[in-house]
Structure 1
Amino acid sequence: MDDTPRIFHHGAAVGVTGSCHRLQVAADRALLVDCGLFQGQDADHPDSLEQHRVRFPIDDVLALVVTHVHIDHIGRLPHLLAAGYRGPILCSIPSRRLLPLVIEDALKVGFTRDRALIERFLAEVESRLVALDYRAWHPLIDDERHRIRIRLQRAGHILGSAYVEVDTYDRTTGHRQRTVFSGDLGAPHAPLLPAPTPPYRADVLVLEATYGDRLHEDRRHRRGRLKDAIDRALANGGTVVVPAFSIGRTQELLYELEGLIHRASDARWRDLEIIVDSPLAARFTEVYRDLKPWWDAEAHRRLRSGRHPLSFENLYTVDDHAAHERTVTYLAESGRPAVVIAASGMVSGGRVVNYLKRLLGDPRHCVLFTGYQAVGTPGHDIQRYGPRGGWVMLDGQRIEIRAQVETVNGYSAHADQHDLLHFVRRMRQPPREVRLVHGDPGAQAALRRKLLEWAKEAGHELTVTLGAEGSMTEPQSANATAEAMA
């Protein structure tokens, strides 16, 4: 093995889910960044458990670093522990609060409903969680061979999200390297969260490329689009159904809706019901309220003025399944306008499916997408075929699409092409190598072109590698790792 740390991808090299990246510092020392589930077309194995089985070595892993708690970044954690990983799980302080909730839900959906087993696993996870302050270096190892330390910086994607700086120093060779893993970077001006600030320097950057080929609407425009969709529902007597991830998107939408209601001159807005139909989302929202110290300055100004952006008069939550069924029927038959926020964000399951089965065939209603819809998910099919009066398969049923279908990309929790370029070029010492991951091939290729154009104009020497072209071999043991990298 040479004296340069190597990067391997165990997911999200091609596609936008299953994030899991290995920084191999030596044949017997490595660091994992995230360990997520594959979703949509990325989940291409007929046996989901088999696809998510951990086949890469873990006995050399010093630590797992979690950038944030979305399921495509932490969903393989049960598999990792089942494979024998016993090291620490490092994350931010807010992620320390949120991660057990996500894992508990994942266990119920994909593993077991046995409460005793779930509690035992959660206890194991919680015993390994180590919460780190932002902006502070944390030593992983410091001995006669290596000094390795990490630092988390706010990423602006969801509450608790972070990008990871890894400082490695090989005392046997004198080689030093700063490797940065972006995780998922947020868009600027996102509700509740401050925008990410690029690091001072990076030698190698592993950069997400989810929206590497497009630009988002600005916040004023996207808020106007959201208001317009709801205005039409008010006029039509219909419901706006928003498929949204329980953590992050739901809370950002509640924040925006509270603002629209607060400023509304139309009396109908004062009576508009905002319904969160997801017990998990309700629990996350409660934790978000507890984590106010990590909100941004704008959100704190609202609080000081006496407003409650995540707990307001028009907001209702649906808890048990019986109440959920009553709410679906009520909205389908009453003609009373409402906004329903329900999981899952890509319509791959959850309560949102029941709403869409009842409401998609009625032109009074609207489906509003505010986030990425991966190819192979029902959400992508509705988004693509709905505007042409197509159909979608939900729970094995063919559902005709007559409802309005709208997309407001500005509410994406991901940085767009401009923001990703900004993250690189605003570094005081930009990287010599960028590895693009977590994006479809077209998005990665478009972002590479833009990065290389910038580097040429700036006179900066830069290599940009697509995830599929990078070091993809998944070593089977520490010895095999050394041989593969020799």
Structure 2
Amino acid sequence: MRLQFLGGTREVGRSAILVNDRLLLDYGMLTGNPPQFPVGSVDPEAVVVSHGHLDHVGAIPSLLSGDARPPIHWTPPTYELAMTLARDTLKLHGGTYNCPFTENDLKRVTEVAETHGYRETFEAAGHEVTFYNAGHIPGSAHILVREKRSFSGSRTQSGDDGETRLLYTGDFHTDNQRLVSGTTARPDADVVVCESTYSDVEHETRATVEEQFAQSVKMTLWEGGTVVVPAFAIGRTQELMLVCDAHDIDCYVDGMGQRVTRMLRTYPEFVRDADALRRATSNARFVTGRDGQRKRIARKNTVIITTSGMLSGGPAMTYIPEIRRNPVNKITMTGYQVEGTPGRSLLETGSAEIDGRIMSVSARTEAYDFSAHADRDGLRAFLDDYRDVPVLVNHGDRCEAFAAELRDDGFESAAPELGETVHV
């Protein structure tokens, strides 16, 4: 099996792996100014997508800009999320370098999309493919790719039937979240491509993080303050809605997270507790107005869950200026803040560029680890079932270091470079 790493190597973003020059796994973008996309020119016969986050699906429509029309395989929520993100990208950046596709390309996606549930095997570009729940966000999947002997042309040493089995983990979590259950799938594989986002981090238990978050929010509300909770629209917004409902905290919800919540409720089989999500949605008040309404809400003694999670745009651009001067108010960051983003600056310096202006923030700022990725222990526990097969580490800031740690522990492990081709 031939694996060409076109992105997501020794970095977090623009994930893309070409298998046997025919099958493409993910095709994302690395957000930034300017954004970065997978390297090289690809013309796959089929595309298989792990989940609906920009770093894995952000460039998918650009694959249809020419004459090729490869089928695109994903779970139903991943398809919906990819379309939502693509429309948002077109709205914000259409016609610029920041958007590598057009409205026509996006329409073509609907013509070639093929959806599959977990553990439903299908064929793609001469390979057998199966999705397994990855426990990251609704619809996220490990991707098991079977290379048939008739395609490879020679008998391999990986199995009596002459198949090579690649397990591409995508992004995954081994612990339960309120929105999705942690992954328990460990399909047999002959090589594993494993994410490593938090390979040097040990998460606190989710129950501990929730309790700390709830107590802090309630204290601010008791003091008469307002809490703004920047959150990613996909996964994190819904998780925080569930947390607020479980701890009897009323909240407003603003931004793309509203659309994502409505969509996820139509796929109850892809969430951990559909009834709990329904109750959390009923508990929340969705913001439908413009900045005038938002400014009024910001002056209330309340909680506001809103995009964007790194303060790089969205309704947060209205809420933060309104609450920043009062030290009783609070901003609770709930996800990883990429270096160079306003969210990262706020945590490190107490000021940030908000809507084009550098603003100092007197409101208290806190950070909570609601990560949807496996931490060091989770990664190692997952990989313990694959000690006898090669492990290729990607999707992380310290891929080489993690691969070295695995080798020290007896694994056959490496961290491919951008553009590298690996034969397994």
Deviation at 1:141, TM superposition (A): 4.6
Q: Report the secondary structure of 2:328's partner residue.
A: coil
User: Which residue of the partner structure matches residue 448 of structure 1?
Assistant: 403
CA gap 1:338/1:112 in 2 versus in 1, 3 angstroms: farther
Q: Which whole-Å deviations, capped at 9, do the CAs of 1:460-485 have from their partners, x for residues lacking one?
A: xx22212xxx25337xxxxxx8xx98
1:382, distance to aligned residue in structure 2 (A): 1.5
Cα shift readout 1:259-286 (whole Å, capped 9, x = no counterpart): 111xxxxxxx5xx4x11111x2211111
Q: How far 1:354 moved relative to its partner?
A: 2.2
- Residue among 311, 314, 329 paired with 2:295: 329
1:452 Cα offset (Å): 3.4
Task: Give yes or no for contact 1:371–1:413 (8 Å, CA) kept in 2.
Answer: no
User: Judging changes above 3 Å, is the alpha-carbon distance between structure 1 residues 382 and 85 closer, same or farther for their aligned structure 2 residues?
Assistant: farther
Scaled by the length of structure 2, the TM-score of the pair is 0.89
Q: Which residue pairs with 2:392 in the alignment?
A: 435
Match of residue 402, structure 1, among 352, 355, 362: 362
Deviations 1:277-333 (A, max 9, x none): 11x22111111111112222xx25x55xxx8333224x11112xxx2312432244x
Match of 1:22 among 7, 11, 18: 18
1:185 is aligned to 172
For structure 1, the residue ranges without an aligned partner over 5 or more in a row are 143-147, 262-268, 457-461, 475-480
Could you tell me which residue of structure 2 aligns to residue 473 of structure 1? 419
Aligned-partner SS, 1:252 = helix
Q: Provide structure 2 residue ranges, at least 5 long, that are not aligned to the other structure.
A: 157-162
The corresponding residue for 1:477 is none
Query: Using the alignment, how far apart are the partners of 1:47 and 1:64 within structure 2?
Result: 25
1:216 aligns with 2:200: no
Q: 1:92: how far off?
A: 1.1
| Closer, same or farther: CA 17–141 of 1 in aligned 2, 3 Å | closer
Q: CA RMSD in A?
A: 2.5
Q: Which has the higher helix share?
A: 1
Corresponding residue SS for 1:180: strand
1:408 maps to amino acid: Y
CA contact (8 A) 1:203 1:430 kept: no
SS in 2 for 1:227: helix
Question: 1:445 offset after TM fit, Å?
Answer: 4.6
Paired with 1:288 and 1:104, the residues of 2 have a C-alpha distance of 17
Aligned-residue identity in percent: 29
Q: Distance between the aligned counterparts of 1:102 and 1:64, measured in 2?
A: 18
Going from structure 1 to structure 2, the CA distance change for 1:149 and 1:76 (only over 3 Å counts) comes to same
Give the aligned partner of residue 277 of structure 1: 254
Deviation (angstroms), 1:125: 0.8
Using the size of structure 1 for normalisation, the TM-score is: 0.78
Residue aligning to 1:162: 141
Correspondence for 1:69 among 48, 52, 73: 52
Aligned to 2:378: 419
Work out the CA distance in 2 between the residues paired with 1:82 and 1:414.
33
SS in 2 for 1:234: helix
How far off its partner does 1:450 sit?
4.4
One-letter amino acid of the structure 2 residue matched with residue 155 of structure 1: A
Following the alignment from structure 2 to structure 1, what is the Cα–Cα distance between the partners of residues 46 and 229? Answer: 37
User: Closer, same or farther in 2 for the Cα pair 1:473/1:308, shift >3 Å?
Assistant: closer
**Secondary structure of 1:308 counterpart:** helix
SS of the residue corresponding to residue 309 of structure 1 reads: helix
Q: Please tell me whether the aligned partners of residues 204 and 431 of structure 1 are also in contact (alpha carbons under 8 angstroms).
A: no
The residue type paired with residue 436 of structure 1 is V
Aligned to 1:309: 279
Larger radius of gyration: 1
Note if 1:93 corresponds to 2:50. no
Partner amino acid for 2:92? Answer: V
Give how far 1:128 is off: 1.0
**Equivalent in the alignment of 1:152:** 131
Aligned pairs for 1:26-425 within 5 A: 29-39=21-31, 43=32, 47-48=34-35, 51-52=36-37, 56-59=40-43, 61-111=44-94, 120-142=104-126, 148-171=127-150, 172-175=153-156, 176-261=163-248, 269=249, 272=250, 274-278=251-255, 280-296=256-272, 299=273, 302=275, 308-313=278-283, 315-319=284-288, 323-332=289-298, 334=299, 336-385=300-349, 390-409=350-369, 411-425=370-384
Question: How many residue pairs get matched?
Answer: 411
For residue 160 of structure 2, what is the aligned residue in structure 1? none
Where does residue 159 of structure 2 map in the other structure? none
* Residue type of the alignment partner of 1:465: A
Q: Verify the 8 A CA contact 2:10 2:400 in the aligned structure 1.
A: no
